Homo-oligomer: A and B are copies of this chain.
Amino acid sequence: MTSRKVVSFENIKVACKNCSLATLCLPMGLTADDVERLDSIIKRGRPYHRGDHLYRGGDKFHSLRVITSGSVKTYSPNEDGGEQVLGFHLPGELIGLDAIQDDSHTCSAIALETTAVCEIPFSQLESLSCIMPSLQHQMYRLLSREIGQETEMLTLLGKKSAEERLATFLLSFSERFKQRGFSASDFFLSMSRHEIGNYLGLAVETVSRLFTRFQDESLLRVERKHVQLLDIPRLYDIVQGSDSAKSTQSRV
């Protein structure tokens, strides 16, 4: 049961061009030559263990990081001891973009499980992008995409019900796992209910109740961190808001 395969860090490809994540994390439209040059500045660090910080708010910024395996939570510690979870990051995703602004990290990043990352020294990336227009273009796009994603999150937090939030959350993971070649309907969430609630602007209890309710409604099966989505179309209906979910059901 618990014999999940442990990632062997000795197998990590040391070149971007051989990396299975390349299509995700590497700017499209780079020539093989470009990739080679980009590759030359990337550093592979030791793996982090669950609970290790990749960086903390206030740390001097020097590198962007691409998750290569495992998962990471970013959060901003707020005045009164609490925190706001800003995101959960899967292999192929880039973090640290918010720190370019003033050369220091504005939020913290912590490994949710054993996690490996590639570090991209930003000053070198910048220099490189000066002489590689396609890289520069991709950097702009990447930063812009980040803005767009946060914008969606604003709508989620500003207008959506608890139900819609959790459905959106689950489908986001579904899509991202699928992109990475994993099952879109059967996966493990590496974060706690508390962290999900914090991220979605909900109380832990609400998240727990929603999981139970979704299960009762045969939308999914859940046992602790293991989630199986049973009715993805209906989850999408829920995301759409209003009561289209139920009407779809009766329309069948």
Name the residue of chain B whose CB is nearest to the CB of A84.
B155
Contact residues in B for A144 (Cβ distance below 8 Å): 97-101, 143
- Contact A143 B154, beta carbon cutoff 8 Å: no
Q: A84-B158, A126-B137 are in contact. List 6 more A-B contacts (CB 8 A).
A: A78-B159, A97-B143, A126-B140, A127-B133, A130-B130, A143-B143
- Contact B148 A84, beta carbon cutoff 8 Å: no
Question: Interface digits, A158-193 against B, CB 8 Å rule (1 contact, 0 not)?
Answer: 110000000000000000000000000000000000
Contact residues in B for A201 (Cβ distance below 8 Å): 157-159
Contact residues in B for A150 (Cβ distance below 8 Å): 147, 150-151, 153-154
Contact residues in B for A10 (Cβ distance below 8 Å): none
With A159-B78, A240-B79 given, is the CB distance from A101 to B154 under 8 Å? no
- Contact A147 B148, beta carbon cutoff 8 Å: no
Question: How distant is A196 from chain B, measured CB to nearest CB, in Å?
Answer: 12
Contact residues in B for A78 (Cβ distance below 8 Å): 155, 159
Question: How distant is A86 from chain B, measured CB to nearest CB, in Å?
Answer: 6
A141 at the interface (CB under 8 A from B): yes
- Contact B143 A76, beta carbon cutoff 8 Å: no
Question: How distant is A168 from chain B, measured CB to nearest CB, in Å?
Answer: 13
- Contact B145 A101, beta carbon cutoff 8 Å: yes
Question: How distant is A169 from chain B, measured CB to nearest CB, in Å?
Answer: 13
- Contact A140 B139, beta carbon cutoff 8 Å: yes
A212 at the interface (CB under 8 A from B): no
Question: How distant is A92 from chain B, measured CB to nearest CB, in Å?
Answer: 17
- Contact A136 B130, beta carbon cutoff 8 Å: yes
Question: How distant is A156 from chain B, measured CB to nearest CB, in Å?
Answer: 9
